[in-house]
Amino acid sequence: KQEVTQIPAALSVPEGENLVLNCSFTDSAIYNLQWFRQDPGKGLTSLLLIQSSQREQTSGRLNASLDKSSGRSTLYIAASQPGDSATYLCAVHRANSKLTFGKGITLSVRP
Amino acid sequence: DAGVIQSPRHEVTEMGQEVTLRCKPISGHNSLFWYRQTMMRGLELLIYFNNNVPIDDSGMPEDRFSAKMPNASFSTLKIQPSEPRDSAVYFCASSRRRLAGGFFGELFFGEGSRLTVL
């Protein structure tokens, strides 16, 4: 059974700091990994999708990396802003099976 | 594109009543998912459809829950009878499933339906 872990559950940083959010998974036989953002009372917004054959994906100030062999992914946020405050979830997908989500990291960026 | 559309956004009902949640996936997506989110359990997959056919409903809690997808642009999740422990946010999501390899593309979520059962 695939398990996805995101630690810590919450993180508070000052504005402008570069930060890394971690995601670990137990089964390395994945097809892709997706990072989402969720604002309070809202749905999940897709940030980045990394296919199993890729090592990283970038979008603006966000960079996600994937290391299948070690069962880890990181989401790097450069020059954090108060608007980045949200919960960040990672999810992994294996062939023909369920997408498994972590419980998320709640990020607070202090002005 | 309008994105995944869910209704109602909020539903408050009394225990024992029937609840129907609705979802319109993104046009052209052939896979549809129903998730439930609670503080305690996080996001749980209830059921998913591929080309309108239910593929995996092992996440459906019990027989009180049922889901249908009569066509490519509409799905419902029904709870009958509802119970207080069903209170949660229910999300619908859709993606385009690639035929070769069978894996899913990027997943897009609706805004969710917040259900409160009194």
Across chain A, mean pLDDT equals 92
Query: What is the DSSP-derived secondary structure letter of residue B103?
Result: -
pLDDT band at A53 (very low <50, low <70, confident <90, very high): confident
User: Rounded to a whole number, what is the distance in Å from the CA of B11 to chain A's nearest CA?
Assistant: 14
Per-residue pLDDT, B98: 65
Q: What is the CA radius of gyration of chain A?
A: 13
Residue of B nearest to A92 (CA): B104
For residue A74, what pLDDT is reported?
Answer: 97
The pLDDT of residue A61 is 97
10-residue stretch averages of pLDDT, chain B, 118 residues long: 91 97 95 93 91 90 94 96 96 80 77 96
The reported pLDDT for the residue numbered B102 is 57
> Please, what sign has the CA dihedral across residues A26, B111, B38, A83?
positive
Check residues B52 and A2 and name the one with the higher pLDDT.
Answer: B52
pLDDT of residue A51 exceeding 60, the answer is yes
Q: What is the pLDDT of residue A95?
A: 66
Give contacts of A101 with chain B, Cβ < 8 Å.
Answer: 42-43
pLDDT tens figures, A28-48: 888 889 999 999 988 999 999
Query: For residues B42 and B32, what is the distance between their CA atoms, to the nearest angstrom?
Result: 19
pLDDT on residue A111: 94
Helix (H, G, I), strand (E, B) or coil at A104: coil
- Write out residues 52-91 of A within 8 Å (CB-CB) of B: 89, 91
Tokens for B88, please give them.
């949660």
Neighbours of B28 (CB within 10 A): 9
In 3D space, the residue among A100, A42, A46, A9 whose CA is nearest the CA of residue B43 turns out to be: A100
Quick check: A93 and B43 CB within 8 A? Answer: no
User: Which of B24, B104, B114, B116 to mutate: most A Cβ within 10 Å?
Assistant: B104
- DSSP secondary structure letter of residue A94: -
Q: Cα angle at B111 between B70 and A80, to 5 degrees?
A: 145
Chain A CA closest to residue B110: A43
10 Å CB burial of residue B71 (0-12, 13-18, 19+) is exposed
- The 3-state secondary structure of A35-70, one letter per residue: EEEECCCCCEEEEEEEECCCCEEEECCEEEEEECCC
How many interchain CB pairs under 8 A, A with B? 50
The whole-angstrom separation of Cα A75 and Cα A33 is 11
Nearest CA in chain B to A30: B103
Partner A contacted by B48 (CB < 8 A): yes
Substitution target in A31, A53, A59, A96 with the highest count of B β-carbons within 10 Å is A96
pLDDT for the residue numbered A106: 96
Are the Cβ atoms of A95 and B101 closer than 8 angstroms? yes
Closest residue in B to A50 (Cα) is: B106
Residues 5-34 of B with CB under 8 A from A: 33
Q: What is the pLDDT of residue B109?
A: 94
